[in-house]
Every structure is written in C-alpha cells, then in structure tokens.
Chains A and B, each alone.
Chain A
Amino acid sequence: MLIILLFLSVLFPRFILAQEEYSFDMSEIEKEIEKKPYSIGGYLEFRPTLYWLDDDAAFYKLEFYDRSNRSRLEEYNFRLLIDASYEKGIGEFFLRTNIDAVESAIESDVEATIFEGYVSLKPSPSFTADLGKITLNWGKGYANTFVGFAQRPKNPEDPDLPREGFIMALTDYTKSFNGPLQTTTLTPVLVPVYKNINDDFGEVSNLNLAGKLYFLFYDTDIDFMFLTGHSKPSRFGADFSRNITSNLEIHGEFSYINKFKKKFVDDEGNLFGETFDAKSYLVGMRYLTPFDTTFICEYYRNGTGFTSGEMENFYAFVDKGYNMIFTSGDDSLIRKATSLAEGSYGRRNPTRDYFYLRTIQKEPFDILYFTPAITWIYNLNDQSYSLSPEFLYTGITNLELRLKASFIEGDSDTEYGEKRNDYRLEFRMRYYFDAVKVFDKIKR
C-alpha cells in the first residue's frame, strides 16, 4: 500500500495533497494582492468557423454575385483585445484596443479599433466624471435593448461581446438613502457629432444631450433615459429589473422615438420614406431551477423594424438585381441592394417581433467548469429562427474553450431563410492574460 501511495505521489504529486491538507505561503498571497497603479491585460482569441452556405438566399446573392459559387466557406478569425489603465490620485486613464483579423477564401483583412479610451476623475464614490471614447451599456434587456440611446446595438447571437463606444463627456452623481428609495444616480451625457467625431452616430454638426436617472426603489432597479439633439430623432425610455424570488428575476424596457424616419424599398428598388412615432418594448425573465438550469427568456418588439411585406419586397429586389446580371450583365441593381443591406436591411433582427430563449445548464453530471447552453431566436413575424447549441469549458485557468453550432432555418422570404448560411460551426479558443503579472514573474 505504501509503495502504491509513494508511486502515486511521485506520478501525481498534488493527488495526495488534495486528499489531505492544502498548504499555502501567506507572503506569496500578500505579493499577489499588492496594488500597482497600472495594469495591462486582455485576451487573445482564435476562432475558426465553418459555414454551410445557402445559394438561394438573398444575403448569399448579395455577397457572391461577383464571385464563384461555393457551398462551404472556412473562415479563420483572430482577435487581440488589450485593456490598459493607469491610476494616479483621483484620476484614471483607461484604454481598450481591439485588433480583428480574418482570413478566408473571400476575405483577408486586419482591423484595429479603439473601443474605449477615456480619462476618469473620481473625487468621491458619489461623483465621477469621464471624458473620451466610452461604451455605455444602458438597458436591462439581455439579447437586445431599445433604450441604449448613446451606444451601438448588441448582437443578439452573442450579446456579451465587447463593443466600440462613442466620444462623449459624462458625469455620475449617486446618492444613497435609508428607506424604500435606497439609491439614485443622475447621469448626464454630452455626445458631439461632427466631421471625424462620432460621424456614424447620426447627422453631423450637432451636440446631443442624453441622460439617465436611476433609482433603486423597493428593491427594484428603475431607469429613465432620454436623447435629444439633431443627430437623431429625440427619444425617451424607461427600464426596470427586479427579483421576484431568489431564483426569478423579471425585467422590461420601453422606448419612444419621436418622428422616426423609416426608409424602405419596393420590389423594383424604388425608395420610400415614412415618418411615425416608434414604440419599442421588451419583457424578459431569468429563472434558475433547483437543478442549476438558467432560463433567460425575452419577447421584444422593435417599433422601428420592417414589416414582413417590406422585407419580402427587399428580397424580391435582390432577386431581380441578381437575375439581371445573368440576363443583361448589368449589376447596378444588385449594387444598390448591397448598399441597402449595409444599412437597415442588414442589421441584426431587422423585423418587428422576436422571442429569445437561452437555456444554460451549469456543470451537468458534476463536470466542473463545463457549461452547455442553447439559444433560440425566433422571428414571430415570419416563423424563421436560429438555434445555437454550445459547450463552454473553463477548467484551465485563463483559457476558455467554446464550441458552438448554429442551425439557421426558415422558408424563402423569411429573415433566417434568406441568411447567407444554413448552418455554422465555430470553435472559439480564448486565452486571457495579465501582462503585469507575467512581467513580475519574469523579473522574479
């Protein structure tokens, strides 16, 4: 027996340790928690993806009309995201840089973007002031949000991905109270839109004002927000979130856009405009079962979205433009359709009513750090959907492995039926690093 234990302890030195006592060096821990004024970290990601293409789909035709046909496409994506900060006194500088590289048979590109870069002053926990490029994250919706008035839209397929911000100045003033109203925070935001400054936000040569007022009232998060200026139509909204029980959370959003201008085409490609007051809303819940299954469920109505008829007209226009290339060699219509697809028609979830369900099972069969999940986005207007099962493993420190498949289903003239792909298989390998700790270890 002793020989076996000795053999095990040589082969697996930590095995014996795990069954008995665990020892640690307190002085090492104190070194680890020592604070430095600067930090550099982030992640490096490799994401090979395989697409099964649908050559009947409108978005396939838009992308491949001037390329040779193919039924599959392999794509290799690389990403380096770096967060750096420097803190001195009440001031802090933060920079988030993102470098994306893609390599496939139809694309080879590298793009570097500063997602965020700002100076923050924190004279007290009640008051902060930030100036620079900032990513706001207003709204309580998980997959989508309609009250993020000064931020870029989420990707419902992967809502947790970091996004690029806008240049702005903002302050937060927070006050806590005893009683039913526990906290309130006022956040005024100035968003300048000029040539080369936030020129993709809206109409240029305008200074826009946005704001948010937050309350924690009777254990409920409540926000009211607005945006005014001339870059976009004025809008206001509200959201809330509350735990009904310890394992059930509900949330909702409402937004109202005054005189929203919608542009759409008929099947000939003629452009029309319509102005109306757009109302969007979202209701959702997060529920945790006793078996550690989390359900995130949302219904959202996008008041600015296209009707099914408007989308069908667009798909018919794409078909017309595509067929014209083969009959007359004229690609002017398909090029016009491509430019429309780069705008509203190509945005994620462009129609009106959606149901979103994400089911996450934590560590099934007692496999620690293993999390399978499945996400279903269902277009209630045309009954098309995407269904994405995934497996996430985080058992190795700083390494995250995710295998994700997507089944994109729908009849012709439906949102998911007209997507470029029928299926997608993606493997994401993400390695997180803390460069300061690595340098420290090298120095030691």
Chain B
Amino acid sequence: MIRLIVAGMLILGVLASPSFAIDGTELLKTIDANLNPESFEMYRKLINVEPNGRKKEFIMYSVKKGRDKIASVFLSPASEKGRSTLRVGENIWLYIPNVGKPIRITSLQSITGGIFNNADIMRLDYNQEYNCEKVESDEGEYLLYLKAKTRAVAYDRIKMWVDDRKLLPSKIECYASSGILLKTLHFKETKAFGGGIVRPSVIQTDSPLHKGYMSIMIFAKVKATKLKDEVFTLTFMPKLESLR
C-alpha cells in the first residue's frame, strides 16, 4: 500500500512539473529551426498603424545564413529604398544610399521609426541570444522563460508561449531589465511557404509604451537558398538587391 502511495505521488509530481522532462535549450533550438531554415531569403512587409488609423508601410528583402548573419534591404517606400542593414553577430551596420557608406549602429536603434527597432528586424535565432531558464506546460502550450545571454541584446527577458504540437510561438512578451513590459508579439496565420517551411506568416506587435499603436510584419516568399559568406559583408551592402 505504502509503495502504491509513493509511486502515485511520484507520478503526480512528474505530471505537475513537466519542466523536469523538457530540455528548454533543445526546445528553443527546435522552435528556431521551425521558424527559419539554416540559410534562406524572404520578403517582409512592415506596417505601422497609428491610433488615428494612419499607417506607414515598408517592404524589405532579407537573407540569412547560419546563426549570426542576416542582411536586409528596403524595397519601398521610395524614401527608404536601397537602405540596407547587415548584422554579423553583434556587429550591425546601416547603409543609406545618399550617405553612400555603411556606418556602425547599435541593435537598439530604430531604422524605420515606429515601434520596431533593429533587433526586431535583424533578429538572430532566439537560442543565439537567450538562455531558456524555465519551461512550463499548460493546455497545449509551453511557456518558455528566456533570459538574455548578454547585455547587448535588445530585451533582457522574454516570455514565449509555444504551441506544443507545432512547436511554433504564438505569443512573445519582451521585458526590459527593470521588468517593464516593452512589447508583445502575436504570431498569427501559420502558413506553408513550400520546401517544408511552415511558420506564422504574420507578427502583430503592440506596446504599452505606445498605446493604440500597432505594428504588423507580414512574411512572403520565405525560401531556403544557398548564400555565399561574401554576401554578408560591407562591400556587398549596396548590392543586396541584386540577389533578388
């Protein structure tokens, strides 16, 4: 009888705390792999919507390779056309056609204005920038508690809600080191892009710091592709559009 009670308590204990069974780091790597192939290209439309309904739209073409290389170029509007950004690890450069040379910028700086910052647009894999400290499981969802690996990362802490079958995020809350909620990202409309890539095609962002404002990022033509390392260099920044 005593054995039965102890066994029952153990089973209940394991069920009550599934985080013991889940390796958060591996789970995060799987989520990253599901969001992005190893080397790929994509188009994104960014829409900033203001409380009065006025909107500002941007279209970007991006390429990413490996864990730490991503480059993007704005295709529209005309005022931003040709403006490109390159990230290699913690190094971020901005190229403005009129200025004519890449300048180093910080990950927190905003390229477009609005509630997106560089870190949102030039994001590397989550497992590159964050450690998973804890995983909770509840009603078809995992909740991952992520902590930035260094102070160079835009958000100190992240809470990530993940669909436990698709292993794709449904919501992310980004916090400052002071504990203030900076923004919430809602992942929507999971779509098959071809080549086995199935991921949310819309990310809607709102921020308690900018009440009534909303940003939407729509993904299109996400495609795995082979890219040379030389694409991710300062010399190639003005020529990024030629990859399209």
Contacts and interface: CB of A to CB of B under 8 A. Distances in A.
B53 A18 contact: yes
A202 interface: no
Contacts of A172: 235
Contacts of A32: 45, 59, 75-76
Contacts of B149: none
Nearest to A138: B101
Contacts of A251: 104
Nearest to A42: B78
Interface in A409-444: 432-434, 437
Interface string A341-380: 0000000000000000000001100101100000000000
A172 B230 CA distance: 11
Interface in A52-72: none
Main secondary structure of the interface of A (DSSP, over half): mixed
A15 B52 CA distance: 5
A298 to B, nearest CB: 13
| Contact-residue size bin, chain B (C-beta under 8 Å from the other chain) | 35 or more
A299 interface: no
Interface in A171-193: 172, 174-176, 182-183, 185, 187
B114 interface: yes
B53 A368 contact: no
Contacts of A221: 104, 234
Interface in A229-258: 241-243, 245-249, 251
Interface string B214-233: 10101011000000111111
A246 B53 contact: no
B47 to A, nearest CB: 7
Nearest to B45: A29
A14 interface: yes
Nearest to B243: A125
Given A126-B228, A219-B91, A241-B104, A432 B77 contact: yes
A216 interface: yes
Given A245-B151, A368-B213, 4 more contacts: A92-B242, A136-B100, A160-B96, A243-B106
Interface of A: 12-19, 22, 24, 26, 29-30, 32-33, 35, 41, 43, 83, 87, 92, 120, 122, 124-126, 128, 135-139, 142, 159-163, 172, 174-176, 182-183, 185, 187, 214, 216, 219, 221, 241-243, 245-249, 251, 286, 288, 292, 294, 362-363, 366, 368-369, 394-395, 397-400, 432-434, 437
